[in-house]
Structure 1
Amino acid sequence: MLLPHHNRYAYSAITERPTYRWPEGKQLAFFIGLNIEHFAFGAGLSHSLSTPLPPPDQRAFAWCDYGNRVGVWRIFGLLDELGLPASHLINTTLFDYAPQILGAIKARGDEVIAHGRTNAERHGGMWERDEARFIAEVRDAIIEHWGQAPKGWMAPWMSVSGVTPDLLDEAGFKFVMDWPADDQPIWMKTRKGKIMSVPYPFELNDSPQMLVRQQSPDDFSNAIIDQFEEMLEQSEKQPLVFSLALHAMIVGQPYRLRALRRALKHICNHPSRDKIWFTRPGDIYEYCNTLPEGALPLPSGNAG
């Protein structure tokens, strides 16, 4: 039976791929993706910690806004304390709402990943021309405020249409992070070429784990440590990407931040720290783009 297929990438068993190493012979690439999100008041989508109230649901809005007013600054402090780089999946409406956040990202020398205009909307259901304008608007806002074009894209809510990879490629994006299919970067086919998929976690992600599955902060901290230890062991055989997805309004809460601190200290103080490449998705893309053809799984089939 022939099932519908996206035709973006072909099946590739991770055990059958050629091997390579990260820069300086590192085994495991590790990056943090911090989601910094802005929501409309009384309209559109929102995260919810409890039973949603009727609009305008000021409780949900204010809880999300805590991430921008308090949580993100606590997380920046933790990253500074541990000397960790990060990438920031940021809604462009934050550039006007809270410009201090982008200023701190610039001061840290971190990477900005395009994350739509606001998480109050999903773009997966847009008509193609509307989606193309939407993507261009986000790209141009980042160029204007950050001073350079973003390489990476992560859709709000990981929502995509059937042509999103094509439109991103045509708008100049180099990689996507919303196809959680692998532990290594892979190439995906577009109608005019290809775009890289850089691993980003759907599971090791504080939002689905703690808001949806109601995992405790200690459970999440232990999951980070177990994921790290297992991937470090597996990476002795082949290079892997260990990515950690965080949200400012979630792990920015003090008791969750304490648990996150324990996990990150475990990683940063690990005896095998010299085997870890502490990096950002854009650097992973740039390095992988220099590898010989065939080092990364190649796409096949026809897109569209």
Structure 2
Amino acid sequence: MTSMDSSRLTWPVAPWPVSDRPTIRWPNGARVAFWVAPNVEFYEISPPSNPVRAAWPRPAPDILNVTARDYGNRVGVWRCIDIFDRYGIVGSVSLNSAMCRHFPHVVDLFVERGWELLCHGDYNTRYLFGRSREDEKALIKNACAEIAEFGGRPVEGFLAPALTYTEHTFDILTELGISYTLDLFDRDEPYRLSPRYGEMVSVPYQVEINDFHALTAQGLAGEFYLRRFRNHLDRLCLEGEQSGRVVGLPLHPYIIGQPQYVWVLEEMMAYVRQRDDVWIATAGDIARHFRATTAGSRQGATQS
């Protein structure tokens, strides 16, 4: 285990207050850029131990939790794909690279349909917490390379496995040429990180409408989760008249793909499709458009 040196931590986001916030305009006058992020993950039954966080809440082998998550790759993802196809939705897969080896046919479902593959580490049971800089960089680099080879195009985006980090994470992403991150949760719009991170952009990935947080952690009924999503989208469409907003919908096939919840996904996609003020995109589309149309704006950022 490596200890964290707090003196080396840098704040990757722009300081407050934001002094030169750019006006964002999405294609075709849309008020909101919408992207959907299925988290397609591989969970090991007996992962290497992490010095900071245990992989499972129960003693090994935690058959209950392992197989519950495996449900997503064996059953839930197929239901989700059917709904995405029905509504013509193409987004970005938050992908553990191990899926390319263990369940390549699942990853193929998305590649064949033109979905973007972004890096979500290698296994969702191998955290960044407690890693040395060299070990963390090797993990991220190898995961990105495996996904790029499988998908046939470079990886642009990154979401940390299980949302775990070290003081080096954003520096490493910059060194590896990652162009956008989903690991910052402080705005409803894209922005450039502090100058030390080059042109890296933060794209909203909104945990408050994440199916895990809403349905599993908070125990919402499907009806209330659907209402939360609609209220979230409606409000950002209202605010987006002044400057474009983003709705990033994180999903997990092992949750939203269950029989009691999959109808919520269908209602969500239908609600998005019925609006003419929403641009359906990938996270990479959003980052590229923002970067191209707001050139030079740092939104008040200073060198850390």
Indicate whether the TM-score tops 0.5. Answer: yes
1:210 shift after superposition: 1.8
Could you say what secondary structure the match of 1:241 adopts? strand
Partners of 2:268 and 2:298 lie apart in 1 by: 30
Return the letter of the residue paired with 2:39: N
Partners of 2:64 and 2:221 lie apart in 1 by: 22
| Comparing 290-299 and 130-139, the one that deviates more | 290-299
Which of 267, 281, 290 is matched with 2:292 structurally? 290
Return the letter of the residue paired with 2:234: E
Structure 2 residue aligned with 1:128:
133
Partners of 1:102 and 1:66 lie apart in 2 by: 15
Q: Does 1:29 align with 2:29?
A: no
| Comparing 240-249 and 120-129, the one that deviates more | 120-129
1:133 shift after superposition: 0.8
Listed as ranges, the matches of 1:156-235 within 5 Å are: 156-189=161-194, 191=196, 193-235=198-240
Listed as ranges, the matches of 1:269-288 within 5 Å are: 269=274, 273-288=275-290
How has the CA–CA distance of structure 1 residues 298 and 195 changed in structure 2, closer, same or farther, with 3 Å as cutoff?
farther
Please say if residues 35 and 280 of structure 2, whose CA atoms lie closer than 8 Å, have aligned partners that are also in contact.
yes
1:146 shift after superposition: 1.2
Q: Does 1:75 align with 2:80?
A: yes
Please say if residues 33 and 247 of structure 2, whose CA atoms lie closer than 8 Å, have aligned partners that are also in contact.
yes
Partners of 1:223 and 1:16 lie apart in 2 by: 31
Partners of 1:42 and 1:167 lie apart in 2 by: 27
Structure 2 residue aligned with 1:236:
241
1:280 shift after superposition: 0.7
Return the letter of the residue paired with 1:18: P
Please say if residues 42 and 96 of structure 2, whose CA atoms lie closer than 8 Å, have aligned partners that are also in contact.
yes
Which of 24, 31, 42 is matched with 1:38 structurally? 42
Partners of 2:184 and 2:193 lie apart in 1 by: 10
Please say if residues 15 and 302 of structure 2, whose CA atoms lie closer than 8 Å, have aligned partners that are also in contact.
no
How has the CA–CA distance of structure 1 residues 14 and 81 changed in structure 2, closer, same or farther, with 3 Å as cutoff?
farther
Could you say what secondary structure the match of 1:179 adopts? coil
Partners of 1:73 and 1:296 lie apart in 2 by: 41
Q: CA RMSD in A?
A: 2.1
| Comparing 124-133 and 36-45, the one that deviates more | 36-45
Aligned-residue sequence identity (percent) comes to 28
Structure 2 residue aligned with 1:137:
142
Partners of 1:260 and 1:76 lie apart in 2 by: 11
Please say if residues 34 and 87 of structure 1, whose CA atoms lie closer than 8 Å, have aligned partners that are also in contact.
yes
Q: Does 1:260 align with 2:262?
A: no
| Comparing 101-110 and 6-15, the one that deviates more | 6-15
1:20 shift after superposition: 3.0
Please say if residues 46 and 60 of structure 2, whose CA atoms lie closer than 8 Å, have aligned partners that are also in contact.
yes
1:18 shift after superposition: 3.2
1:80 shift after superposition: 0.3
Q: Which runs of 4+ in 1 moved over 6 A?
A: none
Listed as ranges, the matches of 1:92-107 within 5 Å are: 92-107=97-112
Please say if residues 8 and 301 of structure 1, whose CA atoms lie closer than 8 Å, have aligned partners that are also in contact.
no
1:190 shift after superposition: 5.9
Partners of 2:233 and 2:20 lie apart in 1 by: 23
Partners of 2:123 and 2:195 lie apart in 1 by: 26
Return the letter of the residue paired with 1:226: N
Could you say what secondary structure the match of 1:255 adopts? coil
Return the letter of the residue paired with 1:239: G
Q: Normalising by the residue count of structure 2, what TM-score does the alignment of the two structures yield?
A: 0.90
